[in-house]
Amino acid sequence: MGCRQQNPVLARRQLMEHRLGRERVFPYCSWTKRMWHRTRYRRWSSEVEEFLHMLTQRVCHFE
């Protein structure tokens, strides 16, 4: 993959997305963990499920 001398924020995001893509399971990164805990006691709305599905699909493209 490209050289690592790039925007550190972008690099961190790509690294996180790559890790997320590898595991393919929610919730693993801290952001999804936070979101998961916030929503887990409520009933899943179809919007949330749709969003998570879309996010997973997008992340899997980075592999």
Whether residue 2 contacts residue 46, with contact meaning beta carbons closer than 8 Å, is answered with no
Which tokens sit at 37?
Answer: 């805990």
Q: Please, which pLDDT band fits residue 9 given cuts at 50, 70 and 90?
A: confident
Q: What H or E segment, with its residue span, contains residue 40?
A: none
**How much is the pLDDT for 56?**
79
Q: What is the pTM of this model?
A: 0.26
- Integer distance in angstroms from the first to the last C-alpha of the chain? 11
Q: In the chain, where are the structural domains located?
A: 25-63
